[in-house]
Amino acid sequence: MSSRKPVLLLLLWLLATPALAEDLLMARIPMTFPEAMLKLQNVLKQHGQTLSRVQRVDIGLTAKGYKTDKYRVVFFGRLEEIREVADKYPMLIPYVPHKIAIFAEEDETLIVAANPERLFPEKDPALQRFVRQWKKDLEAIFHDMREE
């Protein structure tokens, strides 16, 4: 058995345990930025998410004369979710499509997303269900991004 296997099993167990109330979801990807970016695109696809566009923050900053490393914001979601938000939960409109910020830190890459449950600690059960599912989707994406 490889030495990584127990760690992977524990990671799976951690994913199955009740979620912790972290304000931000963050993960360090031990890959260069282009590799991590490609992986994120694939992981989003595997999770049934549509990548709607990528904001190239670094390109905009560099064009204006500022120094920066690779920095992008990835927008993604599912059409039915976006329509559900527009129809039932308009307070969420500024937060869809969902976003993940992805930026280089030397040879590694960080990804960050806001924890929707912390933004919308709602009492309305339907909205709570929606937000919980949104968070679960993000956690699953982050989990797969951490996997080697």
Partner 1 sequence: MPIRLLLILALLLPLTAQASHEKAGTDRGEALYRQHCAACHGYDGNGGVGVPLALPDFQYSVTNKFLETTIRMGRPGRIMPAFSSLSDEDIKAIVKYIRRWAPGKPFRYPVEPVRGDRERGRQLYAKYCAACHGPNGEGGKGTGVTFSRPRDLPIIPPALNNPGFLAAASDQFIKATLMNGREGTPMISFLKQGLSEQDINDLVVFVRSFEQNPLPIEQRPIETEEATIVYDSEYDFQTTINNIKDAAVGNNFIIIREQKLETGFVPKGQENPKQHIIYFCNFGFLNKALAIDPRVGLFLPCRVTVVEKDGKVKVYAINPARLSRLFNNVELNRLCLEMNETYQSIIEDATL
Q: Which residues bind partner 1 (CB under 8 A)?
A: 6-7, 10-11, 13-14, 20-24, 26-28, 30, 50-53, 55, 57, 60-61, 64, 66-69, 71, 73, 75, 77-79, 82-83, 86, 90-97, 99, 101, 103-106, 108, 110, 112-115, 118-120, 146
Taking the complex as a whole, the smallest distance from the CB of residue 2 to partner 1 amounts, in Å, to: 12
User: Which residue in the block uniquely carries the two structure tokens 């127990």?
Assistant: 6
| Shorter beta-carbon distance to partner 1: residue 45 or 53 | 53
Distance CA 128, CA 120 (A): 8
Pairing assessment for the beta strands 24-29 and 50-56 based on DSSP bridges: unpaired
Query: In this structure, what token pair is assigned to residue 11?
Result: 């990671």
106: left (phi over 0), alpha (psi -120 to 50) or beta: left
Least Cβ distance, residue 29 to partner 1 (angstroms) = 9
Tell me the closest approach of the beta carbon of residue 42 to partner 1, in angstroms.
Answer: 17
Q: Which residues pair with 113 in a beta bridge?
A: 25
